[in-house]
Structure 1
Amino acid sequence: MRPALRLLPLTLCIAVSLQAHAADGKSAPTYKLCPLVDAVPAFEDVQKAPEGLNILNNNQLPTDLEGDLLSGTEANPVFNGNVTMRRGDQFMGADQLTFDKAQNRYSAEGSVRYQASGLRMRAARAEGDQNSNTHTMQNLEYQLLSRRGNGKAQSLNMAGDIGSLYGATYSTCPPEERNWELRANRIDINTDTNMAVAHGATLRIGKIPVLYLPWFMFPTNEDRRTGVLLPSMSNSNRNGFDYRQPIYLNLAPNYDATLMPRWMSKRGGAMSGQFRYLNEAGNGTVEALWMPNDKLRDRSRWLGHFDGIQNLSPNWQFRADINWISDPRYYEDFNNNIDGLSQVTSYSSVGAYGRGQEWSAGVSADHWQLADFTLGKNILPYDRLPRAFASWERHMNSALQFGVDAEAVRFHHPVYAAGSRLDLKPWISAPLEGDSWFLRPTLAYRFTGYSLDHSLGQTLGDNSPSRGQSIFSLDTGLFFDRDMQVKGKDYLQTIEPRLFYLNVPYVNQADMPVFDTQPLTFSWNQLFRDNRYSGADRQADANQLTLAISTRMIRQSDGHERLSLSLGQIRYFADSRVRLPNEPITEQGRSAWVVDANYAPTDRWTIGASYQRDPKFNRTDLASVRARYLLPNQGVFNLSYRYRRALLEQVDASFLYPINERWSIVGRQYYSLRDSKTLESLAGVQWDSCCVAVRVVARRYVQNRAGDLGNTLMFEIELKGLGSAGQDTQRALRRAILGYNRDDLYLVPPQIATGQPSTQDNTKIP
């Protein structure tokens, strides 16, 4: 009677296939609101399979058949009362089972129960013919054990590898709260090819049918399959009605593609695509968009993008990030958030990079493309075509280290003349340190030489300018710590004074070009650097001393940093005469005070501040205050203020507030005090249930360089375990709200206030 169990895995294939068909690539939903009640209750007489048993091929295992009473004849035995049949991890139970040895047929009646890996099922009756390998079941219900899927069917017929399920339903909702359900008149399944065809399928939300598919094919396992995915629809005043229909192409086990026809009522049609590949040594993604005619711009639009890595050897890796756009307005027109407007250039790079125990090196090339139609190509940075660099260092012993940093670059620009640059910086250091102190003297020599285009050389007065400078620094500090108690809790408090002396003789660099060098933003880290510029075109002269002190308070029970405070300033003993064009000389005296502070008065509150004040002019150069509060029930509130003299003054407030288990609201107000203008406003609401979530998010944002504000309304409905339709609200919320960092689609952040993982159900559904 072993073949009697062959029909049962078919129902599991059907239930799995509906979820595999619905998977849209997004993170798995959670079911925290679902009651802990199974659609098919657990069977008391099921026993676990013995440990170590190989259940991958149940057909080769013996079948154990038991019952309270055996009657009938030898040719037609009848088992009655608590009939159980077990083989491997498969179990069947019934009130009565009859077997006809002559016809090789069986029938099971009365509370037919079946359970195997991943599936629990019950039916009114089951019967089959072993000779023809045909089986039927009537009035069946099923429950997926490792998933939330459950459903019913009027009947199941199977002949060999081909089966049909009639009057089938599927949902991840509990039977008493059927918020959504998929129904099909008939589902034909081929267990050999793992493919199925549904006839007359209807998707219902509540009792209302919202989608009808007369015919569609889907897989019966979790393998990727070619097919049509759920569409995305939105509406905005920029694009009008926007419809996207993704089509997935499973080309091979290690590469695939997605095509996405798109239609925008105000712009026209477009086609985009994505190709992904994966091999043993790397992976990559190719993306492209083509619009033959944008009705708003009266021209074709396109985008090309490649992002990939490839391991060339244990020490070398190839990396590429290539972007190409059709015109400088592309990002403005095809991005519906403020991030797109802040992008004035499109950057591409490609190179091979290596790293060893005492060295690192690379050869690369990069290119800049204009992405702001209000600007000219003269604002573009110089391309580096190519760039080669290497760093090597050697630790002779604990008291002596030496090395060299080298770079060679050929620059190119669409407007300006350029040239080549060689930069060499050998150095030697003799670090000394103990448990509570360190002393690190370092001596370096930096040589930079150029080979310039003739026109640039004429302008600067020399085709081959060069520079050589010695650089001496002395970095020293102390560590003091003590144990202390605050409100009965043990803390470790530290005090860390630090001195950093830097001496670099002056060398005239007025005849040297400026290719990739800019002043670094003054900050805490800048207090301890040997050059205030990025790039090698300028090496600042210096005779200065940094005085700094930091203190921290660390909770000893878990290492949580309750307080950190840092204060520092540079004392300039002489004027720094090296400068970029139009940059003022750094005069003798004192730099701005740099203050960084972070304080967590409770596990819910985090407060931070940064402040820079210039005593020479008695003015504030920078001020930043930020606060974050973790609301009960996994909500969050953020508030920040940012000021930089002559550049910006902004406030930013955002929140996620769960009203109760089912309702959440989100919001953001990003405002420029300097311009008296809103940069972005966002307001949204979500209703959540056991198996359905609905999100509506309204946004008002700067949509072009002129500062005009645009409006968009994003709507998304998620049928948990089946997929979602509408715009991806998760991306907008993650970008807008600090702390919205879940991997699923909820508005609730992933951790409670104490930082521990959420206890809600996070069952993964592929």
Structure 2
Amino acid sequence: MYPLRLLTAAIAVALAPASALAQREALSCPPPAQLRIPERPPESLRGSTDIQAETFSAERGRLVTFRDGVRLVQDGQQLETDELIYDTATGRVDIPGWMRYSGPQLNVDAGSARYDTRGRAGRFETVGYTIPGTTGRGSAASVEMFDPEHARLQTFDFTTCPPEQPDWQLQASRVDMDLEEGVGTARNARLTFKGVPLLYTPWLTFPLDDRRKTGFLYPGFGYSADDGVDISVPWYWNIAPNQDATLTGRWIEKRGAMLGLEHRFLTPRQSGELEIEWLPDDRRADRGRYFGEFDYHARLAQDWAAGASLKRASDDDYFVDLGGDLHASSIPFLRSAASLRGSGRYWALALEADVFQVLDESVGPSREPYRRLPRTTLTIDRPLPGRLRFSLDSELVYFDREQGTTGGRVDLFPRVHYDYVAPGWHLRPSLGVRSTAYQLDGADESSPTRTMPVATVDAGLAFERALDGDRIQTLEPRLYYLYVPYRDQDALPDFDTRELTFGFSQLFHYNRFSGPDRHGDANQLTAALTSRLLDAGDGYSRFEMSVGQIFHFTDLRVQLDDQPRERRDQSATVAEMTWRPARQVALNAGLQYDLESDETQVARFGLNWGGDDGQQVALGYRFRQDRVDQADVRFRYPVNENLNLIGRVTYSFQENETLEVLGGVEYDSCCWSLRFTAREWVSDRESDKRTAFFVELVLKGLGSVGRAPYRLFADQARY
């Protein structure tokens, strides 16, 4: 059976791309090829060969012949034929008629075969093959084995289409296989689609196994109204077993030629990735442009690691002009950072430094983010005797900027917790002291300090009851008390502190500000209630709803930017809900309503639905008072078993403007898909819009040609 194993490897040119094929066939498509191997032999028979035949004859010292219903089985492989002749003198095996081979990776049918067991060479004529579990299939006029590691296929082809309608085919007049090196060489290779040649090359090489290989990857192309035709051709360079690179030549019609580089390396202790984009002469901007990013990670010891993330762009408008979507074009700054981190059972230590490149023109020098050179943090979380636990959050950092106050800050926040958790209820009080000190330059007071106690009590109950239909309903009330006395903090600078966005999680936080520069005074009680509807069998959550509110016993005096104290008895009411009436439907909503001002501060709504036939719809709405008022609709609608419509619309009610419109058509057959997509989106803060067109041809089991804008749904291909 050794030549059959070599035959299997020799046709790996088709097996490599098709083995990863896992597609849902349309109703008219043929099923994947079946696994034809026999039952696994007992372990005791491993390595033995079992031959069955209706008739058997042997000449003394010469030929052994098996005829009629010949079946040869060895190690889970099977050979079937009508006649098999073995010459004991020369070691030659002849199969003058048809042959059918079945293996775990390949099914092969041949018109005839011969094999020299001593020279370990042979030839198979009129070969056809299928790949079990996939629709990959093909043929070769002949397969010649020169030795166990080298073979040649004549007049080779491969496709995943039905045999009666091969819409696309990969063909070659000759394919030479070097199994030792894992490289195949094709002569006169061509790729055709619907009879139209897509690719022709007189010579190309390709990998035969998982070993990476240098060569060109599939190109991408698109079109935009601003930049014209956009074509990119990537070239992959297998530098070493632990590093590689991809060089991408890109031509943008109205801007010029662009070069991209992605280099990756990996060692037992280090890894890194370098990405560079360089446009030496942007004709539209009349300047050279670039973007670079380098990510590096190193494991210095068992519990110590170092890392760096460095980013830089040539100008503020780089992502506006060359970014792919609204998110990229709205990046306000690029952060570069380096760190050294260590951790133990109860502690974690980090030494960091970061700087920022501001891309948003509206951010002036006095509002730029501070450079932290350096920042050291130490956290401790250690159990104490009984139910007690000690925690410490600490930070030492120096802030630097061209304008404004600069200086160092040290912040210490030790706490003692008492954790009592029992079935159906919990009680967690804690008491801590927060102390913050500064050493400043350019401030009225050079060494301000602040010290205050922080006390919390977190208590909750959990009730549940059984309902009809094998379901469980829970009722979970929770109270959270927070006390922080007032301390005058007007003399403290504002390096990295902002007021946290109010939401349900903020109901149970010990500070309404991010960063240590401000710690809000508080004498408040949070009351919240959560209820869930669960399937008793697997715990699947059908319905969840939470509502909560903070009751203030004193005014909120600590504010940012000299804002007046906030006089109110209660916070806005926060409610969240998730409902899954069926496995393919999910509805979620959130509301933040201020009873005192009778205003809706935050609202959100989302509906996701997926049908059994591939239909998908997602509706979304977001509202934040005086900031965001947007709706988003996405859909994928199958017109029939082959044709799908896709689309997306994002609209801002605040600006009374459509932020993005995407529409496309996808034709999906058994073995190929073709997508046409058009997209218009807002590219900058001045509401300038860009229009682009994308075409992508997917040859299933082989690859794709073209480009798609982005992933419309998480479980679907990129659109």
Question: Could you state the TM-score of these two structures normalised by the residue count of structure 1?
Answer: 0.88
> Structure 1 residues 206, 446: CA separation in 2 closer, same or farther (over 3 Å shift)?
same
> Structure 1 residues 495, 52: CA separation in 2 closer, same or farther (over 3 Å shift)?
same
CA contact (8 A) 1:31 1:691 kept: no
1:725 matches 2:705: yes
Shift of 1:676: 0.7
> Structure 1 residues 728, 310: CA separation in 2 closer, same or farther (over 3 Å shift)?
farther
Show the counterpart of 2:354. 366
Partner amino acid, structure 2, of 1:480: F
Shift of 1:131: 6.1
Partner amino acid, structure 2, of 1:345: F
Show the counterpart of 2:717. 745
The equivalent position to 2:344 in structure 1, one of 356, 378, 386, is 356
CA contact (8 A) 1:76 1:99 kept: yes
Mean alpha-carbon deviation: is it higher for 626-635 or for 400-409?
626-635
SS in 1 for 2:423: coil
CA contact (8 A) 2:697 2:706 kept: yes
Alignment of 1:386-425 (within 5 A): 386-425=374-413
Distance 1:48 1:596 in 2: 55
Show the counterpart of 1:481. 464
Distance 1:307 1:249 in 2: 20
After superposition, what is the alpha-carbon deviation per residue over 1:326-363, rounded to whole angstroms, capped at 9, x for unaligned?
11111112212111122111122221233333222211
> Structure 1 residues 154, 504: CA separation in 2 closer, same or farther (over 3 Å shift)?
same
1:469 matches 2:487: no
Distance 2:180 2:470 in 1: 65
Partner amino acid, structure 2, of 1:593: T
The equivalent position to 2:493 in structure 1, one of 513, 518, 522, is 513
Partner amino acid, structure 2, of 1:324: R
Distance 1:276 1:86 in 2: 46
SS in 2 for 1:714: strand
Mean alpha-carbon deviation: is it higher for 65-74 or for 633-642?
65-74
After superposition, what is the alpha-carbon deviation per residue over 1:647-696, rounded to whole angstroms, capped at 9, x for unaligned?
12111111222333322222111100111100111112211122111122
> Structure 1 residues 97, 367: CA separation in 2 closer, same or farther (over 3 Å shift)?
same
> Structure 1 residues 417, 19: CA separation in 2 closer, same or farther (over 3 Å shift)?
farther
Distance 1:376 1:260 in 2: 36
Show the counterpart of 1:758. none
Distance 2:543 2:178 in 1: 64
Show the counterpart of 1:12. 8
Show the counterpart of 2:470. 490
Distance 1:462 1:255 in 2: 54
Show the counterpart of 2:321. 333
Show the counterpart of 1:152. 139
Shift of 1:311: 3.1
CA contact (8 A) 1:370 1:377 kept: no
Partner amino acid, structure 2, of 1:121: V
Show the counterpart of 2:545. 565
SS in 2 for 1:633: coil
Shift of 1:21: 7.2
Shift of 1:128: 4.1
- What residue ranges of structure 1 are gaps of 5+ in the alignment? 735-739, 748-766
1:211 matches 2:185: no
SS in 1 for 2:384: strand
Distance 1:250 1:229 in 2: 12
Shift of 1:274: 1.1
Distance 1:609 1:202 in 2: 53
Alignment of 1:302-317 (within 5 A): 302-317=290-305
Distance 1:636 1:724 in 2: 23
Partner amino acid, structure 2, of 1:254: N
After superposition, what is the alpha-carbon deviation per residue over 1:242-295, rounded to whole angstroms, capped at 9, x for unaligned?
111111111222221111111111111111111122233453322111221111
Distance 2:360 2:57 in 1: 86
> Structure 1 residues 52, 287: CA separation in 2 closer, same or farther (over 3 Å shift)?
farther
Show the counterpart of 2:425. 437
CA contact (8 A) 1:199 1:215 kept: yes
Shift of 1:535: 0.2
CA contact (8 A) 1:38 1:174 kept: no
Mean alpha-carbon deviation: is it higher for 666-675 or for 329-338?
329-338
1:503 matches 2:483: yes
SS in 2 for 1:439: strand
Shift of 1:727: 0.2
Partner amino acid, structure 1, of 2:84: L
CA contact (8 A) 2:53 2:68 kept: no
Shift of 1:134: 4.1
Alignment of 1:118-197 (within 5 A): 118-129=105-116, 133-145=120-132, 147-160=134-147, 161-197=149-185
> Structure 1 residues 680, 121: CA separation in 2 closer, same or farther (over 3 Å shift)?
same
Distance 2:22 2:584 in 1: 26
> Structure 1 residues 359, 636: CA separation in 2 closer, same or farther (over 3 Å shift)?
same
CA contact (8 A) 2:405 2:493 kept: no
1:631 matches 2:611: yes
The equivalent position to 2:638 in structure 1, one of 635, 658, 662, is 658
CA contact (8 A) 1:640 1:652 kept: yes
Distance 1:191 1:603 in 2: 48
> Structure 1 residues 569, 85: CA separation in 2 closer, same or farther (over 3 Å shift)?
closer
CA contact (8 A) 1:671 1:679 kept: yes
Show the counterpart of 1:320. 308
Distance 1:38 1:440 in 2: 58
Partner amino acid, structure 2, of 1:630: G
After superposition, what is the alpha-carbon deviation per residue over 1:529-576, rounded to whole angstroms, capped at 9, x for unaligned?
121100000111122222222222223233222222222222222222
1:52 matches 2:46: no
CA contact (8 A) 1:288 1:302 kept: yes
1:601 matches 2:584: no
SS in 2 for 1:590: coil
Q: Which has the higher contact order (CA 8 A, sep 6+)?
A: 1
Partner amino acid, structure 1, of 2:9: C
> Structure 1 residues 180, 377: CA separation in 2 closer, same or farther (over 3 Å shift)?
farther
How many residues are aligned here?
A: 717
Show the counterpart of 2:25. 32
SS in 1 for 2:13: helix
RMSD (CA atoms) = 2.6
CA contact (8 A) 2:425 2:462 kept: yes
SS in 1 for 2:416: strand
Alignment of 1:515-594 (within 5 A): 515-594=495-574
SS in 2 for 1:245: strand
Show the counterpart of 1:750. none
CA contact (8 A) 1:329 1:373 kept: no
Distance 2:80 2:535 in 1: 58
Partner amino acid, structure 2, of 1:382: Y
1:262 matches 2:245: no
Distance 1:384 1:28 in 2: 49
Mean alpha-carbon deviation: is it higher for 386-395 or for 27-36?
27-36
> Structure 1 residues 67, 745: CA separation in 2 closer, same or farther (over 3 Å shift)?
farther
CA contact (8 A) 2:677 2:708 kept: no
Show the counterpart of 1:70. 57
> Structure 1 residues 68, 645: CA separation in 2 closer, same or farther (over 3 Å shift)?
same
> Structure 1 residues 259, 547: CA separation in 2 closer, same or farther (over 3 Å shift)?
same
Shift of 1:416: 3.1
After superposition, what is the alpha-carbon deviation per residue over 1:48-88, rounded to whole angstroms, capped at 9, x for unaligned?
45243798xx7xx6685856142666434443323344444
Percent of aligned pairs with the same residue?
Answer: 33
Partner amino acid, structure 1, of 2:41: P
After superposition, what is the alpha-carbon deviation per residue over 1:732-759, rounded to whole angstroms, capped at 9, x for unaligned?
134xxxxx222x7388xxxxxxxxxxxx
Show the counterpart of 1:384. 372
Partner amino acid, structure 2, of 1:255: Q
